[in-house]
Amino acid sequence: MSAPRGLSRWPALLAAASLVAGAGCSSPFSSELDPRPLEPVERGEYDGPGPELASAQRADTWDVERLARVFYTRIVNRRFNSIATFHDPALRELFASPEAFADYFAAFADALDSAHFEALRPEAAALERISVLDPDAVLVTVRFRGQNSLPLRWWSVELARTDRWERADGRWWIIPGKL
């Protein structure tokens, strides 16, 4: 004797419902490409460099490198011609003011457009260099790669960008350039 017609569908419906429910429970800052748990800086718990490291300059470089990796990883696969990206609080937390973030966002979107990034979306970022200017200022050079937006161009495009980071009030901030 077979199961009643309606009962044979229950396992499939429960499995589908659990997949749909699980898909909506992810963090707004993580993605399928980055399944690792959030670091304290990604949760907004960054308090500046720790005093337990011996060399101040090496500690600063390590701290900025960690913050830069988090920030530039957040930028990857984001559309910079989207208001949702502009209003994302995860991208704003390393800027001292909303105006500083708006300046950075506009300059970065313009650079992506000039480099012909498809949908103004970088697909990969690689830190190339961190240059220490003084104990409270560094230059971070990062290279972005993405799809070419020009017709009949199948190769990727790249953009090298150097950002200035400064420490003020015990925190590292990104200092944007003006357009």
Whole-number pLDDT of residue 56: 47
Q: Taking the C-alpha atoms of 59, 65, 66 and 68 in order, what is their torsion angle to the nearest 10 degrees?
A: 140
Write out the two tokens for 120: 């103004």
Say if residues 91 and 101 touch (Cβ distance below 8 Å). Answer: yes
Whole-number pLDDT of residue 73: 93
Residue 80, classified by CB atoms within 10 Å of its CB into exposed (0-12), middle (13-18) or buried (19+), is buried
What is the mean pLDDT, run by run of 10 residues, along the chain of 179 residues?
Answer: 55 51 46 52 47 42 88 93 92 94 94 92 93 90 91 86 92 84
Whole-number pLDDT of residue 48: 46
| CATH T-level fold of 53-175 | Nuclear Transport Factor 2; Chain: A, (3.10.450)
Whole-number pLDDT of residue 21: 47
Does the pTM exceed 0.75?
A: no
Whole-number pLDDT of residue 6: 52
Write out the two tokens for 27: 């963090």
CA distance 100 to 92: 9
Query: How is the chain split into domains, by residue range?
Result: 53-175
User: Residues 93-132, buried b or exposed e (16+ Cβ, 10 A)?
Assistant: bbbeeeebbebbbebbbebbeebebbebbbeebeeeebee
| Half-sphere exposure in the Cβ direction for 62 (13 Å, CA) | 11
Instruction: Give the pairing type, strands 156-168 and 171-175.
Output: antiparallel
